[in-house]
Every structure is written in structure tokens, then in C-alpha cells.
């Protein structure tokens, strides 16, 4: 049987190396994973309590409409329940948006060096893809706007951007949206928004109020610490959410994910603590990078990209042998950089010690003219 011809070239997503696999391969007893931007502080204790109670209902199907969670999220944001849609991670919401709006020949605009699922799902729908290079490691909104035509159906913006960690401001996004035609849906992926401390960060709900062609994406995988639960959501105009819902699979989120997300949302004290500890971790890491004579990209999420001027693949392997899993830039088209998740204080200190040993062993690349 022949597959769809437009998907045969697609790469299979390669996640960061699992901890247990690294332990087996290298004979290590302790491994620290700082590759997938997970929350090193876990999740709220309220989540664990909710999951224990939910064990009594394991044999029952989940609520297909996630009614209780929808009401909780809508109340939290001050929007209508008809403005929320849930998915198995925000990844599935991205898939549903692409499936709902793109047909072969439609155009979609995105950046290079951003979250790969935008392009992946557009390719599956056989859309025409326009990628605009980053400018100073962040989104070139003017360049993206120049690619928008009457055929443009979807525009994707990840803010803060993964993998670079950079951001565009509210003012920049507002000006961009005012120039985008109402016929194009703009998807603002805010997976790392809870970590941002900059006063210039965009107010997604305000932008949505002013522009009904905007959809906001949020996730419980990052600061809420529910990556294994796979649950995220979109917020949009009721008409847009209704359209996306037409392609949503029944029971696409589990009972456990729904109750975990509701418990996590209710514990904002935990979220605040994680945000503060993340900011302290970023301050520590950048201070150590400065001490080591390194440069790094501005970081607004819970990860940071650092320039090492050394082959990223070699750095990755050297750190792996010391029990630290990071994301090598050689896999992200940044051949001399690495992306590292902000960990706990102990994890950050251990990573810096391992990195310092590695830098001493691997010489800098010579500059050529």
C-alpha cells in the first residue's frame, strides 16, 4: 500500500534521550535530563492527591467535552466556555488547527528555527509553506508579513520561541496583527508564557479581544509539570473554536489528564514559586556563562541557548558521558550552540561543573576569514 506522497519525506520526531536509556548505554547510575524543558520541580502536590482519587474511575471513559476543566480554565482567564478547546498536549491542538483549516494549495507562514510541529502538520495537509529566517535569533515579523497573501490561511508564532528562547513584544505583535488580513488565522503559541518576567511581553487575551482571527495556545506540560499527562488547550473566538472542534477526536484527553490539569490550575502558589526559582536559575546560569567567557541568547522561558564556539555534537556527547542530557544545536541547525533547560540549583551547578570540564577538553574552533 502506498502512503500519501507528500508525507514520505517527513522526518519522525526525535525526542531527547530518555534517562533510562542513557543509564543503560553508559553504565551510569545518576543522569540529569536538561533537554526537554520539563519542570525540574515536578507538579503541585494537589495533582497527586487528585490522581489518587481518580483511580476509582479508571474503568470509565473520560468526559469527551472536558466540561469541568473547561469551566475552570474559562473562569481562570475570564472567557466563555465556548472559547476553549483541549488536546493531548498543545501539539494536538496544532494538528487540529492544521486539519481544520488547510487544504492542498493553501498557504501558511512561519519562521525558520521554531517549533517543528507547525511545519510538520502543514506538510501533512499538503499546504504551501513559507518560512522566514530569524532576525537576530527572533521572529522577523516584517519579513513574515511580506509573505502573507490572500491565500494565506495560517500564521504561526511561538512566543517565547522554541528553541531560541527569544520573544517578540506586545507592541510588535499588535502592529503585526493590525496589518494581517482577517482571512488569515494567527496562532500564538504561548507554551512558555508563565515563565516570562518581561513587562514587554504580549497580553494574548487583549490581542484576542481586538483580533478574532487569533488563537492562543497554552499547555500544562511546562510550568505546571504535567508533561506525562499530555494536555494543552487553545483559546479563541467561539466560531474558530467551533471549527476546530469539528475535527477533534472523541475522548482525546484522559480522565487523569483532566483532573490533574484542574488541580494544577488551582494551585497558582506553586506556579509562582516555579517562576521565581526559574528566574533565579537563569540568573545563576548566565552568571556562570559570563565567568566562562561564553555568550548566550536572551532567555524568556525555562531554557537558554548558549554559544560555545565548539562542535555541538561533541559537546553533547561529552556531557552525556558525565550524565547530563542537553539539546545539541547540531540537531537544531545551530552547530556550535546548545540548548539547556533550567534545572534545580543542584542540577544547574552540576551541569556547569560538567560543562567547564568539557570546555577544557574540547578546543574552540578557529576563526576563519
pLDDT tens digit string along 333-342? Answer: 999 999 999 9
**Predicted pLDDT at 19:** 86
Give residue-wise pLDDT tens across range 91-105.
999 999 999 999 999
The contacts found for 67-73 with CB under 8 angstroms, 24 or more apart, are 68/258, 68/262, 69/258, 69/259, 69/261, 69/262, 72/262, 72/265, 72/266, 73/233, 73/265
13: pLDDT confidence band, cut at 50, 70 and 90? low
Mean pLDDT calculated for residue range 203-216: 95
Residues 6 or more apart in contact with residue 269 via CB below 8 angstroms = none
What share of the chain has pLDDT > 70, as a percent? Answer: 97
Residues 6 or more apart in contact with residue 328 via CB below 8 angstroms = 312, 313, 315, 316, 338
Give residue-wise pLDDT tens across range 297-309.
999 999 999 999 9
Q: Rounded CA gap, 314 and 362, in Å?
A: 8
**Predicted pLDDT at 369:** 46
177, 211 contact by CB (below 8 A): yes
**Predicted pLDDT at 144:** 98
**Predicted pLDDT at 4:** 76
**Predicted pLDDT at 9:** 75
Amino acid at each position: 500500500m502506498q502512503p500519501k506522497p507528500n508525507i514520505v519525506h517527513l522526518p519522525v520526531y526525535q525526542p531527547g534521550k530518555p534517562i533510562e536509556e542513557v543509564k543503560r548505554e553508559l553504565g551510569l547510575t545518576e543522569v540529569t535530563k536538561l533537554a526537554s524543558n520539563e519542570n525540574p520541580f515536578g507538579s503541585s502536590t494537589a495533582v497527586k492527591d487528585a490522581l489518587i482519587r481518580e483511580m476509582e474511575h479508571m474503568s470509565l471513559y473520560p468526559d469527551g467535552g472536558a466540561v469541568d476543566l473547561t469551566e475552570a480554565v474559562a473562569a481562570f482567564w475570564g472567557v466563555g466556555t465556548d472559547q476553549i478547546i483541549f488536546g493531548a498536549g498543545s501539539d494536538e491542538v496544532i494538528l487540529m488547527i492544521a486539519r481544520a483549516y488547510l487544504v492542498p494549495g493553501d498557504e501558511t507562514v512561519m519562521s525558520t528555527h521554531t517549533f517543528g510541529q507547525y511545519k510538520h502538520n502543514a506538510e501533512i495537509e499538503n499546504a504551501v509553506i513559507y518560512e522566514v529566517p530569524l532576525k537576530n535569533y527572533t521572529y522577523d515579523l516584517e519579513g513574515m508579513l511580506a509573505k502573507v497573501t490572500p491565500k494565506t490561511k495560517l500564521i504561526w508564532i511561538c512566543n517565547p520561541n522554541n528553541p531560541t528562547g527569544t520573544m517578540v513584544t506586545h507592541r510588535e505583535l499588535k502592529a503585526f496583527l493590525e496589518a494581517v488580513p482577517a482571512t488569515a488565522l494567527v496562532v500564538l503559541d504561548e507554551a512558555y508564557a508563565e515563565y516570562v518576567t518581561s513587562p514587554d511581553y504580549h497580553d494574548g487575551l487583549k490581542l484576542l479581544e481586538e483580533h478574532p482571527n487569533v488563537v492562543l495556545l497554552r499547555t500544562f506540560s511546562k510550568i505546571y509539570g504535567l508533561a506525562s499527562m499530555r494536555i494543552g488547550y487553545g483559546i479563541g473566538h467561539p466560531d474558530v473554536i467551533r471549527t476546530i472542534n469539528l475535527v477533534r477526536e472523541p475522548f482525546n484527553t484522559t480522565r487523569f489528564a483532566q483532573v490533574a490539569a484542574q488541580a494544577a490550575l488551582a494551585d497558582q502558589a506553586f506556579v509562582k514559586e516555579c517562576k521565581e526559582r526559574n528566574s533565579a536559575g537563569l540568573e545563576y546560569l548566565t552568571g556562570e556563562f559570563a565567568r566562562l567567557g561564553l555568550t548566550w541568547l536572551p532567555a524568556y522561558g525555562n531554557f537558554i541557548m548558549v554559544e560555545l564556539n565548539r562542535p555541538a555534537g561533541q559537546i553533547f556527547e561529552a556531557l552525556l558521558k558525565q550524565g547530563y542530557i542537553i539539546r545539541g544545536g547540531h540537531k537544531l541547525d545551530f552547530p556550535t550552540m546548545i540548548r539547556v533547560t533550567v534545572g534545580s540549583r543542584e542540577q544547574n551547578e552540576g551541569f556547569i561543573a560538567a560543562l567547564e570540564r568539557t570546555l577544557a577538553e574540547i578546543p574552540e574552533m578557529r576563526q576563519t576569514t
